[in-house]
Amino acid sequence: MKHHRTYSSKMGETDNEGTARKPTSKKKGTDGERRKQAQKRKGVTQAVKRKNKEDEDYSPAGERGYSKKVKLTSAKTESWQTLSESSRKFLETVMDSGILSILCQQSGGKGDVQKHLNLLKERMLGLFKTLKVPPGKLGDLKNVLSLQLAEKQMLETNEKTLIQLQEEITEAEQSAEHMEETIVRLQNKIQALKKQLEEDEKKARKVFQEGGTGALHLPELPKRSLQAPTLQEEILKIKNQKGLLKDMNTIQQSADMKNMLTLIEKIYEKVDFL
């Protein structure tokens, strides 16, 4: 009897387990659907975060959350009013453009993303109807886009300026390297000229070295210069000597010859003065 009871109890347990397993399969199905929906929502939130991150990259410092926190009192908030119709329409247009930009970045599942973003937009528009804000003008909201555009233009201008400065720095570095090479080349040339000058000075000392008698030790003249015929011998070889003397006398009495002699005398005077 005991065995029968235990067997029946086990059968009951298996029956209960079988009945219990059926709803778990349903739960698995619902869990899978929930996971898919959660993944879709996660993709949407990531896309929104990506868009916000891109907007923050191009927004000025005051729009990035670095502004100081201000404590609001009831006296200050009493004068606040709900958003006007034109302000709500403007904000709706901004949200529509943001949704379009997010959808353009999506590769797949745009329908679910669009539904989710439209729900968020409707919720935001519902909040805008009851949201109270300080009294202002619609132009303040419009200035945000113009400021963002101005910041983008300034960023592009700064990037171009940085590229231009980098090119100028590169050119300056190249010119500095060229100048260094020129300096090294000139220094080598100066060293070579110094060595040559020292050698020339040594040779000059040997030539102008004076002995006890005050005579210069000049190099000997070549034998060819001693064996060369003199000018007198060359003149004697000429047949018409009288005509040659007449021509030489004419040359000596000419004005050009006199000017040349005067110039030679002045040169000698200056040399003597030195």
Average pLDDT per 10 consecutive residues for the chain, totaling 274 residues = 41 42 47 63 62 53 54 76 83 88 81 89 90 69 76 90 92 94 94 93 74 59 68 75 83 88 88 74
Which of 32, 31, 22, 133 lies closest to 87, judged by CA? 133
Which of 58, 141, 139 lies closest to 95, judged by CA? 141
Spatial distance between the Cα atoms of 7 and 152, rounded to a whole number of angstroms: 80
DSSP, residue by residue, 230-262: PHHHHHHT-S-HHHHHHHHHHHHHSHHHHHHHH
Contact 95, 55 (CB under 8 A): no
- Report which residue type is found at 96: D
Contact 235, 244 (CB under 8 A): yes
Q: Which residues are CB-contacts of 182 (< 8 A; sequence separation ≥ 6)?
A: none
Contact 82, 130 (CB under 8 A): yes
* 132: phi then psi, degrees, rounded to nearest 5: -100, 135
Spatial distance between the Cα atoms of 96 and 128, rounded to a whole number of angstroms: 15
DSSP 81: E
Spatial distance between the Cα atoms of 96 and 121, rounded to a whole number of angstroms: 8
- Report which residue type is found at 166: Q
Note every long-range contact of 153-161, with CB atoms under 8 Å and residues 24 or more positions apart, other chains counting. Answer: 155/58
pLDDT at 109: 77
Torsion of Cα atoms, 192 then 196 then 202 then 203, to 10°: 160
pLDDT at 139: 60
pLDDT at 184: 94
